[in-house]
Structures are given as C-alpha cells and as structure tokens.
Amino acid sequence: MAEIRTIDIKKAVLSENTGLADALRGRLNESGTFLLDVMSSPGAGKTTLLLETIRRLREAGIGTAVIEGDIESTVDAEKMAAAGVKAVQLHTGGACHLDASMVEAALNELDLSAYDMVVVENVGNLVCPAEFDTGAHRRVMLLSVPEGHDKAFKYPLMFTVVDCLVVTKTDYLPGSDFDLETLRAEARRLNPTLTVFEVSARTGDGMDAWCAWVAAAVRGGE
Amino acid sequence: MAEIRTIDIKKAVLSENTGLADALRGRLNESGTFLLDVMSSPGAGKTTLLLETIRRLREAGIGTAVIEGDIESTVDAEKMAAAGVKAVQLHTGGACHLDASMVEAALNELDLSAYDMVVVENVGNLVCPAEFDTGAHRRVMLLSVPEGHDKAFKYPLMFTVVDCLVVTKTDYLPGSDFDLETLRAEARRLNPTLTVFEVSARTGDGMDAWCAWVAAAVRGGE
C-alpha cells in the first residue's frame, strides 16, 4: 500500500510565518525600531487611541510611524496623515489578519532609522490576528466598554497571546453593566502576566499610565 | 513537460460549502422552517437583540430555536436557555465563522417541525462569516453605534451579502459622532436593495419595524 502523506496546511503556514516574524524582529533590533501590534474588534477605538498616544509620545521625544491593516479603504491612514503621522496602508485583499510578510512589505516603505516605534494597526478582528506573529516586540489588544465584559470567555486566544489589554471607551461605564472585575479575573486566569489599562481617549482618563507603559517598552524593549 | 495542476483551496472549499448550503435550504423548505443568519462584530448586541426579538415573535405566534456559534464558551446559549429559548451550542474549535456543515450538525439536534424559525448567531466577526453561506434564507448584519459609521468602507463584503442591516444601540447616538446618513449612503451604494433598521433593544426604539420584517420573512420567505 502506498504511503499516505498528510500536509497540515495551517501548521505549515503558521510555522513559516513565525520564522519570518523572528527574522523581522532581528532586523528591527538592528535598526533600533520598536514594533507594536495593536489588535481589537472593529470599532473598539484603535485609531483614536493611537492618534492620542502618538501625539503624547512625540512630546516625550518618541517618533512613530504606523502601518494600517485593512481589507479595503484608507479611512484610518487618512486620519493619521491628517495628524501629521507617517502611515503605510496595507490592503489584505479579503484576508482577516496581517502576517509577518505583509508587515515586512510595509516596513520596506519606511526609513526605519527615522522612527523609534512603528505601530501596526491590525485588521479589526478578535480571532485570526491572534494566530499570526507580525514580528512585533509587544502585542496589545483593545476591548471597548460597549462590547461587553464577556469577551475573554468568547475569544480566549487573543487574551492569551497579548502582553497588554487596554479597556477603551471607559466614558461609557456609568450606567452600563460592564463588569471590570469579571473581565480582569478571567483575563488574568488566561494570562497571569497580562498588564491591564483602562482608558478613555475622549476624556483622557488613564492615558498617562498607558503611554508610560508604551514609552518604557520602546526605550527598554528591544 | 509535465502538466502543472493548481488547486485553489479556498475556491474549492467555498464551492463545496455553497452546494451543501443549497441542500440545507431545500431540507428546511420541506419542513417549513425559516433559517436566519445573524452576523456582526463581537459585542454589537446580537444576543440582546435576538432575545427581545424572539420574545416578541413568540407573542405573534412564531416559535424560534437558536444555534449559537462560538469559538468557545456557552455564555450566549445559557442566556437563551434562561429565557426559555431552545439553544444548540456550536464550538468552532478556533474557526472564525460558521459554515453549512456546522449548521447542518446543529439542525440535526433540533426537531424542526417544532419551530417556525431557527436563528443562527454567527461568530462575532465582520470578515469571514460573510464568505460562507450557512443555508440561511435571509442574512442580517448588526452594526452598533459605538463601533462607528465607517465600517461599510472597511468591511464592504459583509454589507454586500446581507439582506438587512440593523443599526443597534441607537441609545448611544446622542452626543456621538456616528453619522447615520453617511452609513446609509455607503451601505446602499454597496447593496442597493439593502433594508436598514435602527433599533435600541434597551429602549425598544425601532423594535416594532425590525420584528415586523422578520415576521414577514418567516411567513413568506421560503
């Protein structure tokens, strides 16, 4: 009987991606550029948080460029450009996540020596981006208050792979049934070393602590 | 030179899924059961809207069961059960969408003759579920006000494949920069026959019109 050879496509794809991501991190370390991957559901407030974060870090002497990952459109890249932030737009052509090869293509469009940090704004999705290492030094997820506190039960992998959880739109907390303690407990059960921030980009609440974490990561993280 | 044979895996998967979905619709037509597929981002309010919709339709003589699609957890199925709604939980094991074969497996757990409608609550994701026909007679997407009105630009396929867009959490509209007219214009450009409702399950605003649409689809949609 002939031998049957089985190819696990997903495992092969992920393994190739991880190798490429490691190589990308090595290249970024050489140029002294910190790469931050930011993930969330659609509409959790990635662009708004990043605009305010980049503005504050610029005042602290940290220069940032962004890579905007979208299926289509240049809505977010235009917002970045309008704020004077260098942005490279990646269109995934339908794919629901970025991978290391896409991020590498975007980095090739940047003069890395000009930036202390590059932020990847991943495709809005709590599932697939968690599986793909983009070469980032740190991975962050946002969860907005209107989405509800039960997301750690429903999308556990994302909470497991990130270094930091930022609860956004905390100005929606009054009158909502969002239970921060339940979220914190479940997130920490999944990921005991997770750092958690609560911010409102609208009111500025919590922005100091979050920006200090990013600045410390940029300065000491490579 | 030997012939090179290329297999487009994605096309083959989608084609097989569509065949299965058509067969499933045929089976549902025979039993007189209407299948509704409900899709959205995580946290757009699917479960809350469905609980209130099912309660109202029950008063109108329409009996409903639900299929809960999740990567993990039984959070939503428990809410359905607590409200006296028959629920079948599907765990995708990491997959970011439901397909026709998964829905068929769930339907096999139900006595279809006992229900006028089965609602599929798809995995929270604006990308991949749009590509997979689950065998439903109608497809609906929810977009919640806190997510922002720009989602039709960023996730156009979802807006193109659905019959109906339900803008949820309209109680968040006052004081927000959500632009309903921009959303409507872009959604209708993508999908000229799209039906659009604006609802707040919390206040009840808009629920009558939405439920009337579902009831009409159930009664005449097969």
**Cα end-to-end span (Å), chain A:** 53
pLDDT band of residue A5 (cuts 50, 70, 90) is low
pLDDT score recorded for residue A114: 95
Total residue count of chain A as it appears in this document: 222
State which amino acid sits at residue B71. I
ipTM above 0.95, yes or no: no
Mean pLDDT of B85-106: 93
Average pLDDT score, chain A: 94
Total residue count of chain B as it appears in this document: 222
Helical pair A9-31 and A100-107, crossing angle rounded to 10 deg? 30
pLDDT band of residue B222 (cuts 50, 70, 90) is very low
A41–B contact, CB cutoff 8 A: yes
Average pLDDT score, chain B: 94
**A70 pairs with which residues across the strands?**
A91
**A119 pairs with which residues across the strands?**
A36, A66
Mean pLDDT of B87-99: 92
Which of A62-66, A202-206, B45-49, B90-94 shows the lowest mean pLDDT across its residues? B90-94
State which amino acid sits at residue B102. M
pLDDT band of residue A1 (cuts 50, 70, 90) is low
Helical pair B9-31 and B100-107, crossing angle rounded to 10 deg? 30
pLDDT score recorded for residue B3: 66
Comparing CB atoms, the residue among B125, B146, B150 nearest residue A125 is B125
pLDDT band of residue A94 (cuts 50, 70, 90) is confident
The whole-angstrom separation of Cα B54 and Cα B65 is 9
pLDDT tops 60 at residue B221: no
B175–A contact, CB cutoff 8 A: no
Write out residues 197-216 of A within 8 Å (CB-CB) of B: none
Which chain A residues are Cβ-neighbours of B157 within 8 angstroms? 71, 94
The whole-angstrom separation of Cα A162 and Cα A140 is 5
pLDDT tops 60 at residue A139: yes
CA dist list (Å): A19 to A12, A63, A95, A101: 11, 28, 20, 10
Comparing CB atoms, the residue among B75, B128, B147 nearest residue A43 is B147
Query: Which DSSP symbol is given to B112?
Result: G
State which amino acid sits at residue A197. F
Contacts 24+ apart (CB under 8 A), A11-17: A14/A131, A14/A132, A17/A99, A17/A100, A17/A101, A17/A132, A17/A133
pLDDT tops 80 at residue A106: yes
Say which residue, B202 or B54, is predicted with more confidence: B54
Q: Report the b/e string of A179-216 with b at 16+ CB within 10 A.
A: eeeebbebbeebbeebbebbbbbeeeebbeebbebbbe
Comparing CB atoms, the residue among A73, A128, A146 nearest residue B146 is A146
Tokens for A66, please give them. Answer: 């962004």
Is B156's CB within 8 Å of A71's CB?
Answer: yes
Mean pLDDT of B126-155: 96
**Percent of residues, chain A, with pLDDT higher than 70:** 95
pLDDT score recorded for residue A42: 96
B186–A contact, CB cutoff 8 A: no
Mean pLDDT of B32-59: 97
pLDDT score recorded for residue B171: 94
Query: Which strand (E) or helix (H) includes residue A64?
Result: strand A64-70
pLDDT band of residue B94 (cuts 50, 70, 90) is confident
Q: How far is A124 from chain B (nearest CA, A)?
A: 8
The whole-angstrom separation of Cα B6 and Cα B4 is 6
pLDDT score recorded for residue A222: 45
Mean pLDDT of B25-35: 96
Q: Sign of dihedral through CA atoms A185, B51, B151, A128?
A: positive
Pair B205, B170: CB distance under 8 Å: yes
Mean pLDDT of A81-94: 93
Which chain B residues are Cβ-neighbours of A176 within 8 angstroms? none
Q: What is the DSSP string of B124-178?
A: S-SSGGGG---S-SEEEEEEEGGG-TTHHHH-HHHHHH-SEEEEE-GGG-TT---
pLDDT tops 90 at residue A32: yes
A169–B contact, CB cutoff 8 A: yes
Pair B89, A153: CB distance under 8 Å: no
B160–A contact, CB cutoff 8 A: no
**pLDDT for B108-129, tens place per residue?**
999 999 999 999 999 999 999 9
Q: Does the B11-220 domain belong in CATH 1.10.340.70? A: no
pLDDT tops 90 at residue A24: yes
Pair B40, B144: CB distance under 8 Å: yes
Q: What is the DSSP string of A68-130?
A: EEESS--HHHHHHHHTT--EEEEE-TT-SS--HHHHHHHHTTS-GGG-SEEEEE--S-SSGGG
Longest dimension (CA), chain A: 70
The whole-angstrom separation of Cα B147 and Cα B161 is 20
Mean pLDDT of A61-72: 95
Mean pLDDT of A64-88: 94
pLDDT score recorded for residue A209: 98
Which superfamily does CATH assign the domain made up of A9-220 to?
P-loop containing nucleotide triphosphate hydrolases (3.40.50.300)
